[in-house]
Chain A
């Protein structure tokens, strides 16, 4: 039977068919839907881990103990998980282990454009690069075979256009694999120097063996056509090459690393002009050039952004360039906090108090955009706390009184705890605000360890952030509703003033998980004096009109925040 599946759904299906038993992940665009779909197969144990490092450790434990396992994350997640991963390639596995990592060329939803193939090479892990959903599933199954045959965790790399594209997939049955036997193997699984010296030599030997076998691997294949032009490519770029250069011969690398040198040399020798066309870094190109083979690629396309068929046709075949999408006079439409978003109240107050805001990654990063414009820094998950502390230690306690760290509940669980512990331990007098909306919002509303529900929506224990702070020795912990603007302002003033470390939990659920939206508000034009104060919070449901403001009833969720700003009682729930 065929089904139309997202690349991410096909990965989940592949895990099911490959007999995977354990899957652990932390959400991150464009990888999130993988584990959401794995969770629909009762044969696989699945969970949201608090972060990617934990997910990889869970998958490693499962694999070492004899079960095929999966960990999934976005590209930057592998940075967080790099520590276990870079040694897991030394210890190797028992049953197969695959880490699916989704890159985001073009930065649709990411803070950088890093190329996971570079980390695969740095960690000596094999990495596969599929071009459509069918390949996502087929490559994943092959990745388990490679993992077991070469005794190493394997990376399967996706890019946004593969993860979030639907193409047809032929479904197959699950193979039920018995648990492999688990035996203590100190030399292999205990990473002490004496043991790992031997394992490092093994890694070298294994990598050379796989590189050699890669010359005959089914997913590294040449599609011969006209031999005046040959293209080496993989992943999404392969699709664009096929459309832009239908006559060229193509060497498609299904295994992106280690690279099949003999096959590449054979291909290069058989074509007159060789192009290497790949998303992101010149990963293949640099290696191929280092072997003394003449080729070109990145000097024509550059590194930043996505490649598309028209760009490839223009750069490599002299076709007419597509002009820029005409944006002249067309206002941009950046993402915004939803109507009724709890973060809006918080950013309004932080802006009013003119605080320096070390923010973090989540929906609340959108508080950086006008009109709230309330963020000084945002770097990576958890950095808010470390950076605020760094500012305090560099500039003194006075700086701490003007600075807050802001991070979400999921981000706090992901990597805020250790930063906060550092502040407590090293006598910070700063203020940390946990914007607790009881969900992992930005990635599409996943449960997390602080909201009391697991990946299936079943109740479980919830992290008690107040008690956690107390256990760290933090004396000032306050919980406040960000829509109680008066109280919030008071609490933020008091806690930033205080000569001690404080934590403020700004708590109200995300507007999109509240099942019953309230009654929309309307503006009474008799009372409205057209002062524009309510426009300061940047709610997309309010717009200015000649007589004052108008609220769009299809967007307004009746949160009442705008009404709190109005001095004249002009904004009220629809009668």
Chain B
């Protein structure tokens, strides 16, 4: 069983990531629970998506709770910090090193913590990646989510071509090539 939490800012494309993961797990005979966020927080608020996959225990809840996540996939630094409590002691945090300022920081009523990433690294096994730049090199910064999938792939028990297949099932044909190369770049990332 794997518990994965995907966090980011509404509008960043976290839903595609959970869709690919769910599709992949289903293709491979796993039971799946995905909990998505639609509605208000999609307007630039914090968004959290939970993915649970299992081929050994029954799944009921679609929520991953504190201390239960094997992997947290964070699309933004501050959201990575916020999501730390989800991780298991031996869990892994994958962070796309991007800063998106929340409105209270923009208005000056509070500060963006400068030590965001170092706090994350001090508390969890962390993989940092600038997925936006890599995605941009592949053709569009919007494929950052799929670069992150590539990083995540090495921690999950599915073959590379199974990932390609799931991506093919989840993205529009005209964006397939960009997304596959984005995935491969993430997969090759060290």
Contacts and interface: CB of A to CB of B under 8 A. Distances in A.
Interface string B29-50: 0011111111111111110000
Interface residues of B, number: 54
A554 B41 CA distance: 19
B56 to A, nearest CB: 15
A198 interface: no
Contact of B85 (A326, A370, A442): A326
A538 interface: yes
A326 B80 CA distance: 12
Nearest to B9: A333
Most buried by B among A109, A166, A325: A166
A442 B101 contact: no
A309 B60 CA distance: 10
B155 interface: no
Given A329-B113, A333-B102, A165 B33 contact: yes
Contacts of B165: none
Contacts of A330: 78, 81-82, 113
A349 interface: no
B40 A108 contact: yes
Interface in B8-38: 9-11, 18-19, 22-23, 26, 31-38
A573 interface: no
Contacts of A242: 58, 60-61
Contacts of A399: none
A370 B104 contact: yes
A166 B66 CA distance: 21
B124 interface: no
Contacts of B63: 161, 240, 308-309
B81 A108 contact: no
B141 A554 contact: yes
Contact of A168 (B11, B26, B42, B104): B26
A495 to B, nearest CB: 29
Nearest to B25: A4
A164 interface: yes
A371 B102 contact: no
Interface in A286-326: 308-310, 322-323, 325-326
Contacts of A4: 22-23, 26, 32, 34
Nearest to B81: A330
Nearest to B10: A335
A331 B112 contact: yes
B40 A442 contact: yes
B89 interface: no
Nearest to A311: B65
Interface in B41-92: 41-46, 58, 60-63, 65-67, 78-79, 81-82, 84-85
A105 to B, nearest CB: 12
A540 interface: yes
Contacts of B32: 4, 166-168
Contact of B45 (A161, A310, A333): A333
B105 A164 contact: no
Contacts of B10: 335
B107 A371 contact: yes
Interface stretch (A27-35, A137-145, A500-508): A27-35
B18, B104, B112: most-surrounded residue (chain A CB, <10 A):
B104
Nearest to B123: A326
B154 interface: no
Contacts of A335: 10, 40-45
Contacts of B110: 331
Contacts of B65: 308-310, 322
The 7 A-B pairs with the shortest beta carbon distances in the complex, nearest first, are A109-B39, A29-B39, A335-B45, A239-B60, A165-B62, A333-B102, A166-B34
Interface of B: 9-11, 18-19, 22-23, 26, 31-46, 58, 60-63, 65-67, 78-79, 81-82, 84-85, 100-113, 132, 141
Given A33-B38, A540-B103, 12 more contacts: A131-B60, A165-B33, A166-B19, A166-B22, A166-B32, A238-B60, A239-B62, A332-B46, A336-B44, A370-B104, A543-B105, A544-B106
Interface of A: 2, 4, 6, 29-30, 32-33, 108-109, 131, 161, 164-168, 238-240, 242-243, 308-310, 322-323, 325-327, 329-338, 363, 366, 369-371, 442-444, 535, 538, 540, 542-544, 554-555
21 contacts: A2-B26, A4-B23, A4-B32, A108-B41, A161-B62, A164-B35, A164-B36, A165-B33, A166-B22, A166-B32, A167-B62, A242-B61, A310-B65, A330-B113, A331-B102, A333-B103, A369-B103, A370-B103, A443-B39, A540-B101, A544-B106
